[in-house]
Amino acid sequence: MMSGKALFFRAKTRAEMSQSRRAGKRSAMQTAHDRFKLVRIFFVLGIAALLVFLTGLIITLGPLEISVADAYSALLARFLPDHFQSEALTSRVVWNIRFPRILGGMMAGFGLGICGCVMQAVLKNPLASPFTLGITAGAQFGISMAAVIGFSVLGGPYFIIGNAFLCALLCSFFIIGLAAIKGATSENLVLAGIAVNYFFSAISQLLKYFASDEQLRLMTNWGMGDLAAFSWANSQLLLAVFVICVPLLMSKCWDLNIMTAGDDTAKSIGVNAENTRLFIMATSSLLVAVIVCFMGIIAFVGLVAPHMARMVIGGDHRFLIPASGVLGALVLMSADAVGMNLMAPTIIPTGIMTSIVGVPFFMYLMMKGKRKEFWT
Amino acid sequence: MIIKLQAKEIVFGYDSNPVLDSVSFEIAPSKLVTIVGPNGSGKSTLIKCINKIVSPQGGSILIDRREVAKMTRMEVARYLSYVPQSSVRIFPTNVFDTILMGRRPHIGWLGSERDEEKVWDVLQLLNIERLAMNNFSELSGGQQQKVLIARALVQEAEVMLLDEPTSNLDIWHQLDVMNIIRDVVKKKEITAIMALHDLNLASYYSDRIIMMKRGKIVAVGDPHSVITEENIASVYRVQAAVRKLSDRPMIMPLRQIRGSKA
């Protein structure tokens, strides 16, 4: 119990402290907090700069010699022809061969990183990834159906990818619908996802069992994830989905921060936990489905990019979402560059290379990072 | 503005098991109210019904004569804050960011200096500014409880609901947390309603006690009228000695009352 006098003194000190703060003086803790805020901003800006740098660097890799400077001027010459010049051959190689693949990797990595980040938050599960909701199983099922049975929803140029996209979406919306009826707790969503995953995987396996060698090859290639499938033609659809989904996910950053504290707490602070969870899962499913149908299964990035970001900048989604996206893009681009050039002219599929390069790197971060270090 | 809270015939149950059976009460502003009762008597559920974490199947809660059921969650959050029993964090979050969450009902997308100032003010008020940059999960139980109270305080609601804030704490920290709650009730002129197991703490700190048994209110009033040997015997099935200490009834449980359920 505090005496009246002591209480008076404590109150006085507090009044003084807040007065001095208003006068511009900041305590040591506040300075530390200010520094941490700067670290977060500079980290996001730094990795974004690294992304730009790496783009130039990766363009130089390949049979035709292109310097880093030539790479940038070839890229910029398109937009600012008065200021930058580029040889026709260089420009063709950069714009038609090397840059599309890099851009594809960048977009896929960015999208998967962001989706992993928001899904981990709403499912309160560090193991959640863009594939938790049966998106992979759905897409795989769509591909198997097109390849083995010859059934496609859209036909034409979308014979296979159209199937992958629609089945992936169908699968995830089935799970989301199930959870919406039963109560969209994170446990319900994860459980339903696992169950549906097994079901569709089993059907895909069954179809595989009856498939010819040619059909099997098609299914396997897609399953390994390949950026070669990305082209300027399909970049527009991808871009359109990005432009819609990414701002939608970013707009929920405060709610995501709060959702990690549990549903009861979230509700008490004014966040409708169940609706937010459904909204985030539906939006990110759309983003993942469009990535998966063009580029196949690239599983690892979505799981670890958010963890890497959290290790450095903590759990505030205002910074964590962009950081996860950019880190995902960095990991995927670098891994693909290694896969393209390690055994050239043989190209190692992107999905395989991402895991081979990414897992040791992630293990290194896990071993090295002391928990304390996340905060300073 | 000082608001009044009313509950009218609240009914809540899981399937066919009634947890709350027609619970009604009224709470005057700027008071410290505790809800006591045996395990499973519906204390925590009642707290969660008040701020719509769970929706009661019958009856209504009124704040300032407005029905909580008809308000959006964000509106409810401006009137009522909530301190959970404990908070498990899966992902690392520092103390500052944990408390900043409480500003959600008032915050814009970017968050402002003003919101951060409020967090620093509360951190100083509870004397935990030095913990601001620590990871929440690495704090002791007592420190975590203070951080959760701080988060509720920055919400600037007029009524604070607390779900057993002293469970899992040693006696020093039990007193620490209860003193904080009593101080903020006085200084900020808010109302605190808490579910509590410890009858002596309830008796020592409360202005009013609500005693529950199997989803019903059996006694309401000041500590002297509620904490009696008869009430404890009938509600807890424990024979206890109640003595006055510092002008408050204090209980010493003596033995269980066996036999048919009272």
| Structural domains in chain A, sorted by start | 104-375 (1.10.3470.10)
Q: Is residue B58 part of a domain?
A: yes
Residue B92 distance to chain A (closest CA, Å): 6
The CA-based angle A76-A80-A86, given to 5 degrees, is 55
Nearest residue, CB atoms, A314 vs list B52, B90, B97: B97
Q: Which residue range is the domain that position B229 belongs to?
A: 5-256
Residue-level pLDDT at B16: 74
**Cα–Cα distance measured from residue B81 to residue B79, given in angstroms and rounded to the nearest whole number:** 7
Residue-level pLDDT at B261: 55
Residue of A nearest to B157 (CA): A269
Residue-level pLDDT at B262: 47
Q: Which amino acid is at A236?
A: Q
Contact between A85 and A73 (Cβ < 8 Å)? yes
Q: Is residue B198 part of a domain?
A: yes
Q: Is residue B70 part of a domain?
A: yes
Residue-level pLDDT at A92: 84
Residue-level pLDDT at A4: 44
Q: Which chain B residues are closer than 8 Å to A2 by Cβ? A: 179
**Cα–Cα distance measured from residue B18 to residue B52, given in angstroms and rounded to the nearest whole number:** 17
Residue A7 distance to chain B (closest CA, Å): 10
Q: Which chain A residues are closer than 8 Å to B51 by Cβ? A: 267-268
Examine the pLDDT at A336 and tell me if it is beyond 60: yes
Stretches where chain B sits below pLDDT 50 are 1, 262
Q: Which chain B residues are closer than 8 Å to A190 by Cβ? A: none
Q: Is residue B239 part of a domain?
A: yes
**Cα–Cα distance measured from residue A221 to residue A295, given in angstroms and rounded to the nearest whole number:** 10
Residue-level pLDDT at A157: 67
Q: Is residue B261 part of a domain?
A: no
**Cα–Cα distance measured from residue A263 to residue A16, given in angstroms and rounded to the nearest whole number:** 38
Instruction: Calculate mean pLDDT across residues A226-239.
Output: 78
Q: Which chain A residues are closer than 8 Å to B120 by Cβ? A: 21, 30
pLDDT tens digits for range B173-207: 999 999 999 999 998 889 999 999 999 999 999 99
Q: Which amino acid is at B158?
A: E
Residue-level pLDDT at A95: 85
Examine the pLDDT at A192 and tell me if it is beyond 60: yes
Residue-level pLDDT at A294: 82
Q: Check which CATH number belongs to the domain holding B30 and give it.
A: 3.40.50.300
Residue-level pLDDT at A250: 93
Closest CA to A72 of A57, A82, A93, A61: A57
How many domains in chain B?
Answer: 1
Contact between B36 and B196 (Cβ < 8 Å)? yes
DSSP secondary structure string for all residues of A199-227: HHHHHHHHHHHH--HHHHHHHHHHHT--G
Examine the pLDDT at A182 and tell me if it is beyond 60: yes
Strands of B32-36's sheet, edge to edge?
B80-83, B159-163, B191-195, B32-36, B208-213, B216-221
Instruction: Calculate mean pLDDT across residues A42-55.
Output: 94
Closest CA to A117 of A294, A288, A325: A325
Residue of B nearest to A2 (CA): B179
Q: Is residue B262 part of a domain?
A: no
pLDDT tens digits for range A129-158: 887 777 888 888 888 888 787 777 776 666
Residue with tokens 């704040």: B63
Residue B198 distance to chain A (closest CA, Å): 18
Q: Is residue B192 part of a domain?
A: yes
pLDDT tens digits for range A212-223: 888 888 777 777
Residue A258 distance to chain B (closest CA, Å): 6
Residue-level pLDDT at A159: 73
